[in-house]
Copies of this chain bind each other. A is one copy, B any other.
Amino acid sequence: MPQGQPTLVPVDGLTTRQRRNRPLTIVHTGVMKGKSTAAFGMALRAWNQGWDLGVFQFVKSAKWKVGEEEAFRALGELHTERGLGGPVQWHKMGEGWSWSRKAGSEDDHAAAALEGWREIQRRLAEQTHDFYVLDEFTYPLKWGWVDVEEVVQTLQNRPGHQHVVITGRDAPPALIEVADLVTEMTKIKHPMDAGQKGQRGIEW
């Protein structure tokens, strides 16, 4: 629920409506659960607005599959079949765009991550989607596979009205600097502290 009012009104020559409808760069970072789940929760809202949704998961394994993937594929079908919500595309580094490469070595993952980012750059330029989820995208940035400055420039200069949500630990300062909304998921308590492992339906 949106709470509170803006604490200052900027002198930027924009009306409230114009300012309200600016495209947002959103970052979910921190060590705790909830970064990706909150991003997919936001994506539900986007879907409900009829927005075109593009999810790009920068995960290494093709086997890694979260429950959200199935749910969004179902929602995408509802759009195709009945016109409900918006269209959904879900892409995974571990399978979808590592077309000619075999997984296994670190080099392959680096190339696949860059390949994914290049595709996102093209889509941003062409305004393919309204709402992008770049899930776990901070890791390729952290590991130097994708250049942070290039990402920042691309985000700042993207045309039209495209929202972008980026998740993952250790978001680089340059990204946080240009983001409009940054949330850190902070751990207060986690079952693993008490010796409990992850479980189906909760962690994936």
> A-side interface residues toward B, CB under 8 Å?
1-2, 4-10, 12, 16, 19-22, 24, 27-30, 32-34, 36-42, 44-49, 51, 59, 64, 66-68, 70-72, 74-75, 78, 84-85, 131, 136, 163, 176, 179-204
Contacts and interface: CB of A to CB of B under 8 A. Distances in A.
A163 B10 contact: no
Contacts of A41: 34, 36-41, 44, 68
A179 B78 CA distance: 36
Contacts of A195: 6-10, 12, 19
A84 B70 CA distance: 10
Contacts of A71: 44-45, 47-48, 75, 85
Integer count of this chain's copies in the complex: 2
Contact of A44 (B10, B40, B179, B183): B40
Contacts of A72: 44
Contacts of A78: 74, 78
A183 B191 contact: no
A27 to B, nearest CB: 8
Give 7 closest A-B pairs by Cβ, nearest first.
Answer: A37-B41, A45-B67, A48-B67, A2-B198, A182-B188, A38-B38, A34-B38
A46 B59 CA distance: 21
A170 to B, nearest CB: 12
Contacts of A163: 201-202
A49 B33 CA distance: 19
Contact of A131 (B1, B5, B136, B201): B201
A42 to B, nearest CB: 5
18 contacts: A2-B198, A2-B204, A10-B195, A16-B197, A32-B183, A33-B181, A34-B34, A34-B38, A34-B183, A45-B201, A48-B67, A48-B71, A71-B75, A181-B190, A182-B188, A182-B189, A184-B186, A186-B186
